[in-house]
Homo-oligomer: A and B are copies of this chain.
Amino acid sequence: MKKEESSLSTLSLAILGLISQRPLTGYDIRKVFATTPMGHFSSSPGAIYPALKRIEDAGWVRGRAGQGKTRRQRMLYEITPQGLKTLKQHLSRPVTRDDVIWHLDDLMMRFAFMDGVASREGTVQFLRDFASQIDGYVAVLRGYLNGVEDIMPPCGKLAMENGIQGYEMNAQWARRAIEELKRD
């Protein structure tokens, strides 16, 4: 329910994260959103180009003329030192319960872009915090469900269980991910 100082919308974070991996054009980004599992992002130009302009105005990326297969003019964006700093800051923000409730997708984005940007220990710590925040919230939800499950209609109850299982799956995933990252 809260937004923090280094305000990056989830879409902006996704774009900045992608550009941090390698320089991209707006169209490249659209293709990533349209053809990969990042597909729950709007690949629409009305979302991408304004977002790109915003993070350019903020000084986090810099566009320069580049050409691809054709010699059309196209803007190739690369991350700036400022942008990398912002990204790092954003990725290293603590994991709160608010994040778990309201910005789960944002948390996952943060993790997804830690590869070149955060340290291995920082990444593992993030996953640990993530899992433990989820555990805490799941306990609350289970407590609530136990209190009302006798009076809840079947579909409502099943829907609530779906939500809880989703969180539990995330916690399990995080612990497996920690193991996997340690095997290096």
Contact = CB atoms under 8 A, between A and B. Distances in A.
A37 B170 contact: no
Interface string A126-148: 00000000000000010011000
Contacts of A161: 173
Contact of A115 (B1, B156, B162, B177): B156
A159 B40 contact: no
Chain A interface secondary structure, helix, strand, loop or mixed? helix
Nearest to A108: B159
Interface of A: 1, 21, 36-37, 39-40, 42, 44, 101-102, 108-109, 111-116, 123, 141, 144-145, 153-156, 158-166, 169-170, 173, 177, 180-181, 184
Given A112-B160, A116-B153, A162-B177, 15 more contacts: A1-B42, A21-B153, A36-B144, A37-B141, A37-B160, A108-B162, A112-B155, A112-B156, A112-B158, A113-B156, A115-B153, A115-B154, A158-B173, A162-B173, A169-B169
